[in-house]
Amino acid sequence: MKKFDFRQWVLVNSWEPLDVCVFQTAYLKVCGSAFDLKNISDVYRHLSNYSIQKDNGEKEELVMSSRQFEEFMRSS
C-alpha cells in the first residue's frame, strides 16, 4: 500500500457572491515506496511531493489521473 494525495482544481471567480468552478477531473500524487511506519524518516514512503519522488529510482507512475485511479481501484 502506498500513500497518495488527491488534488482537485477549482477556479474562484468571485468571493461575493461566491462563484466557484470545479474541474471535472482531478489527479493523485503517489509515493514511490510502500508505506511503512517502521521507517518514518524515509521521505519516499511518506511524502508524495513530485520533486522528492522523481529521484526515488522507482520506475512506476508517480502521478495518476482520477480516471486512472478509478480503473486501478476497480482492477484491485
- pTM for the whole structure: 0.63
17 cis-preceded (ω within 30 degrees of 0): yes
> Average pLDDT for residues 6-18, to the nearest whole number?
95
CA-based nearest residue to 31, from 10, 1, 70: 1
| Long-range contacts formed by 34-43: CB under 8 A, 24+ apart | 34/1, 34/2, 35/1, 35/2, 35/3
pLDDT digits (tens, 9 = 90+) for 15-60: 999 999 999 889 888 887 888 888 888 888 888 887 888 777 765 6
For residue 58, what pLDDT is reported? 66
